[in-house]
Amino acid sequence: MSAVTLGLPRASPSIVDLIGSTPLIRLSSFETGLRNVELWAKAEWRNPGGSVKDRPAARMILEGEQSGALTRDTILLDATSGNTGIAYAMIGAARGHRVRLCVPSNVTPERKRILRAFGADVVFTDPMEGSDGAIVRAKAMYEAEPSVYFYPDQYNNDGNWRSHYDTTAPEVFEQTNGRVTHFVAGLGTSGTFVGTGRRLREFKASIRLISVQPDSPLHGLEGLKHMETAIVPGIYDPTLADEDIGVGTEEAFELTRELAHQGLFVGISSGANLAGALRVAREASDAVIVVVFCDGGEKYLSERFWDESADGGRQ
């Protein structure tokens, strides 16, 4: 099987129509020493907003419009660590909606600038409280003025995981010609893992589903949650994973740098997900492993870990 042929860009009447149908990319250089294992990355940074979060954001916005909860007179409000907020802001700008986002103040400057470029109103929250602090603030704002806001609440909205159930999973299954044996994704809202995993298991009962999260409460893996100590999303299904892998920040940083040196400029959570996939790959044989690369590295350029020397080898 070869990588998906990109071909000519497809013509679309709206930015929303460009979301999805992202390619798989073979990670051949990481397969050395494995026992007939193929590693493939789902290139979610190819979405127009630059991340996997375009999928659920579009689903929740369109469902809000259809229900009448999101109109020109209401403001879309939600908590985000960055990527969903960027997707909300992009789609909101395209469809004429005002967007207000609660965001931890320590997110990267690049994310802050992108949000402002799309015209979003940003409410910064305590960096020490992480995404949980943003969730608490957004909920309080909505409860104080429910008539003012459309509050999709990405952490508890079934449209989040269903967007992946309906799109990401069928893409993965088709792109691997049904040969996928393992699926690896990180846990933030958990929508990508839950939605894709549920549908893949319907397609193929033998598939193994592996979730990835930080290995401690104090971590630098932006967008991922340490579930034991965080506000657990209502859409999270802890019974779904066959295996849950904790990844350290430094290991994720190292792999993110190594991927860039190989031409794949991706974000920190992609490095974390790859770390989990490699642990699975070293124990597997005759396997086709698909791992989600959530976003691109351009949103993290101000992070100092890029300046650290990388030895070009895996630890």
Which residues are the active-site residues? 53, 269
User: Dihedral of the CA atoms 199, 201, 204, 208 (nearest 10)?
Assistant: 130
Q: Which two tokens stand for residue 85?
A: 């907020």
Contact 271, 249 (CB under 8 A): no
- Cα angle value 242/245/250 (rounded, 5°): 165
CB under 8 Å, gap of 24 or more: what pairs does 259-263 form?
260/297, 260/306, 261/310, 261/312, 262/29
Q: Chain-centre distance of CA 53, in angstroms?
A: 5
Residue 133 is classified by DSSP as H
Instruction: Find, among 132, 127, 161, 134, the residue nearest to 78 by Cα.
Output: 134
Instruction: Find, among 189, 185, 298, 284, the residue nearest to 244 by Cα.
Output: 185
Contact 161, 191 (CB under 8 A): yes
Place of tokens 């809202």: 189
Contact 22, 270 (CB under 8 A): no
Sign of CA dihedral 168, 173, 174, 180: positive
The stretches of 165-289 forming alpha helices (DSSP H) are 169-175, 191-203, 249-261, 268-283
Query: Residue 42 forms beta bridges with which residues?
Result: 24, 292
Instruction: Find, among 219, 245, 224, the residue nearest to 295 by Cα.
Output: 224
Q: What are phi and psi of 13, to 5 degrees?
A: -75, -15
